[in-house]
Structure 1
């Protein structure tokens, strides 16, 4: 090769931009345009904000806030100026990011008013880095043509505003999405032997802990990750690596168990109220008989279909009468056993979950500020083709989910068998990762049904729809890269 050709090759490499960089920049530009350029995009409050707001030193300072519930996005909140007497109503890793955003807000904007876009900017930066790592794990050492196709697929899916609109909100779904991306990216990078294994294990640990503790309903996630992650113990013969991995898995397992223990009695009662009245009684052909199965007085059948937050109820939801004669008569485990012994009701609830399981963004919450002049509850259509197509064409049955699971696992089995025969433990990682994500998604469905019936199913199943997208994305990208059978 001549010197001229050598120089030409160097010039071409200088201007070569990796697919991971293209994907990250694409997601950054689209998200910035959506969230930080008028009209600003965010998520309206469905009534849940108070649970996380006051304990983090914030309050609703808009005098017309109540009239904007569900319909309009509100971007500014008051910062408490004196002693905060409000204790945490729930334990969530989301508070870490709110406090970080609050500190940035006080440095660069105001010590009295909090602009939620500081939190949105923080999430966006973390998200873009995660997208870079995820794309890098799937395009490392891949030819440019296929790599760029994967980067376009990445932008199409993960820049969708149905996902990124959560960044300008106080819903924990933002933390769920970002930590899920990092968890998957770190494991795939370990599989690809890209970057330092110890650094990736630290990233895996942090992201798994954040995911498990982001929502209290995610407590089973820690147990699933800890069990499925046992293969990581054998990918490297180093005793130090195995010690680090053991500590990691133990910490994630403890986080899962701890998250469940820390659920307050109030939240347990809210979920139990919905599990019975919006689940078992609502779908039972004989509600009185269903109550007798739990040794509950038949007269409580009048609560069938009720929601805990109704302003006027048949009986006070916080009364000792209900605690002694209703809440204390059943548990989530007994509800699960009831569904197992009544498969017709279980299938009915699973199909109802499937009907809501493919909506990334619940239809109930608007995305625009009231000042923009959009109708109440209006949602943005900007860069949301993927979420709309997914919701409209996905078969709304649990049977489809079962078929999808079989196909996804089947696609990754050949490479697992090949790696197993070659005793390549690192090469065996993709299949356990896919199974882990599927189990995490299924846990979201199960916890939603058993824990709260059909109450707010679309939002409760965000972890399922995110896991569904990540698994499908990994399979599609592996097909594009022709790496499924190697």
Structure 2
């Protein structure tokens, strides 16, 4: 290397060093992490080539009932392959009723109104929705990093901030914002749920404000997708530790009311799932789950009270244009769908642990896939190959997919390690009756069980159909819990609790 090249490299390095020093002088780790995620994600979502997610055929369920329709003449040709950013807006009466109930509709309608006011009353630009999600996501990242780095050494705090950007700024996550998949809302609300709980644990910010964020984000997460309905029960159960964080009557009544509402909404969300979607999931639970891996498919059906001849459906999917029987026929309703529920499927796997183990290992292969391979990220006009995906700022998701062991045994081992690492501090907090500092382990265990429940629900509810997308909840939970664990290890907090703010010490928790 020549002297001039060496000098140039040194000048660049010095420039980056000065920039870093300036940034760390005026910005906390949490603020720096949030700003970096915002900048990187904005570049991916709002600067050409725009990055988004192609439609796999699910968009129609949420679009038409919210006043938006497919306007591109060649839209059908772009399924799976290309991201589409423009859609039509209904101008007159919309005869389409809601095919499903989802909190996602709230954000679509807000984006639609902003689009009409600020841009165009006839064409909807999906990037308006992406902007809403990104702003919320930026706040969630700030809260998460703040919960971990508040009152810590600056050097370690900025390392944690960099790790947060590396993981949560990954385009495999943020590309969902330019889509109509509920995974975008799940990602944002999962971060809010965990970060608000951790901020209560740390005694950072107002407890009532954080409690409100915890309850509202949990409600939006649970109602974002029918598959998530059972998760509300887990959050309500482990949320009891958030309720116990302080002993004031007003706080506990507020927390109890919020958790009760969450439980009721979760049950209602499950009960109100349209029968059509129940039948679709039942079909796949049997044809893509129980039957393909059974040594005797006919006998497996007969044990559930179903005619063995339906074993001919093994391996098929509900949407196939040509099948041996009409999947919507009365015969299927009475002789197939009406003969079993998801409880029977769960009981079947419990009685056949070998088959259950194989399904769990199959699920584990996709458990670390943040972005399903089936959907492309680019617009057709960009000239990329059909289904092409971006490599922009996606190193973390790529490494995770390549390097993590693809067995359910690894998931079990990961769970045991995390719980074991945090157990001493939890036991210490319980023994000293420090309820606030006992919140951390239940919160992390809640996220782990939510992720594992996502896998179990996917298998029992739909077999191996579209597993990579159905297991998105586990992907989020794994990254959040692993990030928090590594951060606490770096800060030396795994086996000990952190000092409390004076006004949140045990003697003060009796205040309202």
Structure 1-normalised TM-score? 0.97
Aligned-pair Cα RMSD in Å: 1.2
Query: 27, 48, 64: which is aligned to 1:38?
Result: 48
Pairing 1:5-84 to 2, within 5 Å after superposition: 15-84=25-94
Say whether 1:410 aligns with 2:410. Answer: no
* Structure 2 residues without counterparts, runs of 5 or longer: 1-21, 497-512
Offset of residue 482 of structure 1: 1.2
Query: 426, 436, 461: which is aligned to 2:446?
Result: 436
Query: 151, 158, 161: which is aligned to 1:148?
Result: 158
Separation (CA, whole Å) in 2 of partners of 1:232 and 1:371: 50
**CA displacement 1:238-283 (0-9 Å, x = unmatched):** 1100100100110111121011011011000000000000000011
**Is the alpha carbon distance of 1:78 and 1:295 closer, same or farther for their aligned partners in structure 2, counting shifts above 3 Å?**
same
Query: 108, 113, 117: which is aligned to 1:103?
Result: 113
**CA displacement 1:63-111 (0-9 Å, x = unmatched):** 0000000000000000001111111111110001101111111111100
Separation (CA, whole Å) in 2 of partners of 1:81 and 1:17: 46
Pairing 1:27-426 to 2, within 5 Å after superposition: 27-426=37-436
SS at match of 2:315: coil
**CA displacement 1:101-141 (0-9 Å, x = unmatched):** 11111111100000000001110000001100111000000
Separation (CA, whole Å) in 1 of partners of 2:302 and 2:262: 39
SS at match of 1:282: coil
Offset of residue 196 of structure 1: 0.6
Separation (CA, whole Å) in 2 of partners of 1:111 and 1:411: 54
Offset of residue 16 of structure 1: 3.1
1:454 aligned partner: 464
Separation (CA, whole Å) in 2 of partners of 1:473 and 1:73: 30
Separation (CA, whole Å) in 1 of partners of 2:429 and 2:24: 36
**CA displacement 1:368-411 (0-9 Å, x = unmatched):** 00000000000000000000000011111100100000011111
**CA displacement 1:137-177 (0-9 Å, x = unmatched):** 00000010010000000000000000000000000001100
Query: 465, 474, 477: which is aligned to 1:464?
Result: 474
Offset of residue 236 of structure 1: 1.3
Structure 2-normalised TM-score? 0.92
Offset of residue 14 of structure 1: 10
Separation (CA, whole Å) in 2 of partners of 1:471 and 1:130: 15
Separation (CA, whole Å) in 2 of partners of 1:145 and 1:380: 32
Separation (CA, whole Å) in 2 of partners of 1:20 and 1:95: 30
1:480 aligned partner: 490
**CA displacement 1:335-358 (0-9 Å, x = unmatched):** 000000011110010001001111
Offset of residue 483 of structure 1: 1.3
Separation (CA, whole Å) in 2 of partners of 1:257 and 1:408: 30
- Give the ranges of 4+ consecutive aligned residues of structure 1 lying more than 4 Å apart after TM superposition: none
Number of residue pairs matched? 476
Offset of residue 13 of structure 1: 12
SS at match of 2:91: coil
Offset of residue 234 of structure 1: 2.1
- Does the 8 Å CA contact 2:291/2:311 hold for their aligned counterparts? yes
SS at match of 1:184: helix
SS at match of 1:91: coil
